[in-house]
Amino acid sequence: MGDQLRAYTKDDVTPVLSGKTIAVIGYGSQGRSHARNLRDSGMDVIIGARRGGASETKAEEDGFRVLTPAAAAEEASYIALTAPDMAHKEIYENDVKPNLKAGDTLMFAHGFSVLYGQVEPPKDVDVILVAPKGPGDLVRREFEKGRGVPCLFAIHQDASGEARDRALHYADGVGGTAAAVFETSFKHETETDLFGEQAVLCGGATELVVMGFETLVEAGYAPELAYYECLHELKLIVDLLHEGGLAKMHEFISETAIYGDLKSGPRVVDENSREKMRAVLKDIQTGAFARDWITENQAGKPAYRQMLAADLEHPIEETGRKLRSQMTWLNAEPGSNSANQE
């Protein structure tokens, strides 16, 4: 079992970024929430965005001063790169690197591009990571309520001697210290994040759902029943797990469901599944996954597009669209459930 992480709170924050200009480059879900929270925390924030793009328009509508990424990097002493991972190399080489000054801070919301060599910063700047553990809209909503989403931070390079203080002040600015802020490393943040997405949260969960749906339909059950039992009701269980772990789930489901869980769960997700998970983790740890994904992007993402199309054309999607159209509550708050963290 790994060592437990230390929890940092507001008492650990030194306001080292006061009076400094922070450039947020990448105004998607995370970038927008970071920028607005930082501004409301009293920090000086500018936005770096391509001219004529949707991000520039949205940032201007939100009341920010918007510059090109290069101009923003030149003006700021703290550069938060919140654009998608695969855009980091181009943005860094073309816009950020030529404008970095000794003593600047280069921050990432995910460690992929640094860990896998897509971005190689000079030795005279701080290189840190601050990653809220939630989608951008949740980070913003919780901040507005006076609460916060827990954050991870990491120090890849401490040129100034105050990289940790800079990371903590930024994490505090986005609301992290209202919950808790934990220190990790670029390596551990990136590898656990990729593993969670692939083996459990996205890859594992969706494959389990689809395979359960297929199993029931192949056995002659109506696709509507299969959808309700294998996909729709998953949210009920995930919410219980999210709120109170295994204990709360067991408290709020029937004894029949608990017995079926304990008896049959290990038959479906067994030691063979664990070995497959270990193989996924090994690909991440060795960089094999990263190399494959980088190469796929360089080729224009043909395999990615083909696999995604097959996923979206699955019969569970047609069934889901029909059934969800009858669930009026799903449209009550457009976008409120988005998990896009870019």
> Average pLDDT, stretch 146-153?
95
With residues binned 3-state (H G I as helix, E B as strand, rest as coil), the percentages for the chain, rounded to 5, are: 60, 10, 30
Give a three-class secondary structure readout of 189-250. HHHHHHHHHHHHHCHHHHHHHHHHHHHHHHCCCCHHHHHHHHHHCHHHHHHHHHHHHHHHHH
Q: Report whether 218 belongs to an annotated binding site.
A: no
Instruction: Determine the pLDDT at residue 192.
Output: 97
Residue 328's Cβ-count burial label (10 Å; 0-12, 13-18, 19+) is exposed
How far apart, in Å, are the Cα atoms of 93 and each of 13, 58, 87, 111, 253? 32, 25, 10, 17, 53
Mean pLDDT of the chain: 94
Q: Report whether 254 belongs to an annotated binding site.
A: yes
**3-state SS class at 51:** coil
Instruction: Determine the pLDDT at residue 43.
Output: 97
Closest to 119 in 3D by CA, of 156, 151, 163, 166: 156
- Assess whether pLDDT exceeds 90 at residue 318: yes
**Residues annotated as catalytic (active site), given as ranges:** 110
Q: Taking the alpha carbons of 66, 68, 74, 80 in that order, is the dihedral positive or negative?
A: positive
Q: Report whether 55 belongs to an annotated binding site.
A: yes
The structure's pTM equals 0.91
Q: Report whether 111 belongs to an annotated binding site.
A: no
- Assess whether pLDDT exceeds 80 at residue 203: yes
Instruction: Determine the pLDDT at residue 46.
Output: 98
The full set of domain ranges for the chain reads: 12-184, 202-329
> Average pLDDT, stretch 38-43?
97
Q: Answer yes or no: are the C-beta atoms of 177 and 71 closer than 8 Å.
A: no
**What is the percentage of the chain residues whose pLDDT exceeds 90?**
94
Kindly report the CATH number that applies to the domain delimited by 12-184. 3.40.50.720
Instruction: Determine the pLDDT at residue 331.
Output: 73
Q: How confident is the model at residue 4 (pLDDT cuts 50, 70, 90)?
A: confident
Convert the pLDDT of each residue in 216-239 to its tens digit. 999 999 999 999 999 999 999 999
Q: Report whether 185 belongs to an annotated binding site.
A: no
54-61 helix and 29-40 helix, angle to the nearest 10 degrees: 20
Q: Report whether 197 belongs to an annotated binding site.
A: yes
